[in-house]
Amino acid sequence: MTKVLLAGATGYLGGYILNELINRNYDLRVVVRSPSKLSPEEVKKIEILEAQVTEAESIINCCQDVDIVISTLGITRQKDGFKYIDVDYQANKNLLDEALKHGVKKFIYISVFKGRELRDLKICEAKELFVDELKQAQLEHCIIRPNGFFSDMAEFFHMAQKGRIFLFGDGEFKVNPIHGKDLAVVCVDAVKNNEKEIEVGGPEILSQNEIASIAFDVAGNEKKITYIPEWLIKISLFLLRTFTFQKFYGPIELFLTVLSQDMVAPAMGDFTLREFYMNLK
Ligand SMILES: NC(=O)c1ccc[n+]([C@@H]2O[C@H](COP(=O)([O-])OP(=O)(O)OC[C@H]3O[C@@H](n4cnc5c(N)ncnc54)[C@H](OP(=O)(O)O)[C@@H]3O)[C@@H](O)[C@H]2O)c1
């Protein structure tokens, strides 16, 4: 039976991948720092290794008898003092070293759509540094490059509930965000297919104005939008990078950058943003 090691199982995407792997009856080991975030049903079906992946010595032999590693490790909203280079790069590098030591066949890694073009952002710099190492390594790899997750689109819905949404430019930049459940299918399919790099977004291509309309409609509030001009975004980015620390400006520079351009990836999956917002009510 194919044995999979999943790193990141307590996160948004990792949780969906965990369930997809369980449903497909894979032999599973997860490496997590907080096992209490796993559900009792999940705990019964998997082997759990409690470890801090940023410390190489804490994951020694984690890949013993493992065929496939899937990692969703990365900083999104965590504010625990680590930098992107510590997690998105180094923690994944620690895992890769263990995978190579134990003859793992394939390493599946979650980067970001347009990650190479956006390398000047701190998060993409760290992620793509790991991608470079993974591509050189003596094992099979698959790099998944997803567009924004529905989890991040929740912010628009929360703004709609409060009565006003802030958009960038004229609100006509387009994006096709993806639900974690749809993306998990793509990640687990990668265990068996031969693609080395997969760009993926959700089934609907929406402008920010359309996203705002859906959010107001589901929230049941009158549509009120404030448009932030692009010059103000550029000045804000400059000030943030100059006067604040990376752990503060990192997520903001990513958010501002991806919302200031079209982000349309090959479309997959079924879940619509409207369904997602309905579930947030
Ligand atoms: N969100 C998006 O829109 C988006 C879009 C494209 C790509 N991505 C990438 O997809 C991946 C998964 O994203 P997600 O939204 O599922 O993120 P998430 O919910 O924050 O999950 C990230 C995982 O990384 C772990 N992690 C973070 N910092 C850590 C640290 N210092 N030590 C050990 N583990 C740590 C988290 O563990 P804990 O649960 O213990 O915190 C969690 O399991 C990330 O690499 C992200 O960059 C995200």
Question: In angstroms, rounded to a whole number, what is the distance separating the alpha carbons of residues 81 and 132?
Answer: 25
Does the pTM surpass 0.75? The reply is yes
User: What is the C-alpha to C-alpha distance for residues 70 and 191, in angstroms, rounded to an integer?
Assistant: 9
Angstrom distance (rounded) from CA 24 to CA 155: 32
Q: What is the mean pLDDT of residues 230-253?
A: 82
Binning pLDDT at 50, 70 and 90, where does residue 244 land? confident
- Ligand 1 centre to CA of 10 (Å) is 9
pLDDT at 202 over 90: yes
Which residue of 48, 49, 72, 182 sits with most ligand 1 atoms within 8 Å of its CB, as the best mutation to test the pocket? 72
Position 238 confidence tier, pLDDT thresholds 50, 70, 90:
confident
Q: What is the CA radius of gyration of the chain?
A: 19
pLDDT digits over 93-121, tens only?
Answer: 999 999 999 999 999 999 999 999 999 99
Mean pLDDT to the nearest integer, 184-192: 98
Residue 253 has a pLDDT of 81
Give residue 215's pLDDT band: very low, low, confident or very high (50, 70, 90). Answer: very high
CATH dotted code for 3-147+179-200: 3.40.50.720
Ligand 1 closest atom vs CA 54: 32
What integer is the mean pLDDT of 131-159? 97
Query: What's the token pair of residue 194?
Result: 């031969």
**Tell me, what's the pLDDT at 272?**
98
Strands 140-146 and 165-168: unpaired
Ligand 1 atom at shortest distance from the alpha carbon of 88: 45
Residue 123 CA: which ligand 1 atom is closest?
47
pLDDT of residue 225: 97
Q: Residue 6 carries which side chain, given as an amino acid letter? A: L
Closest atom of ligand 1 to CA, residue 113: 6
Residue ID of nearest Cα to ligand 1 atom 42: 11
Domain ranges of the chain: 3-147+179-200
| Nearest protein Cα to ligand 1, atom 44 | 74
Give yes or no for residue 268 having a pLDDT over 80. Answer: yes
Q: What's the pLDDT band for 145 if we cut at 50, 70, 90?
A: very high
- Mean pLDDT score of the chain: 95
Lining residues, ligand 1, CB within 6 Å: 8, 10-14, 33-34, 37, 53-54, 72-78, 80, 82, 87, 91, 110, 112, 146, 148-149, 151-152
Q: Is the pLDDT of residue 41 over 80?
A: yes
The arithmetic mean of pLDDT across residues 243-262, rounded, is 82
**CA of 112 relative to ligand 1 center, distance in Å:** 12
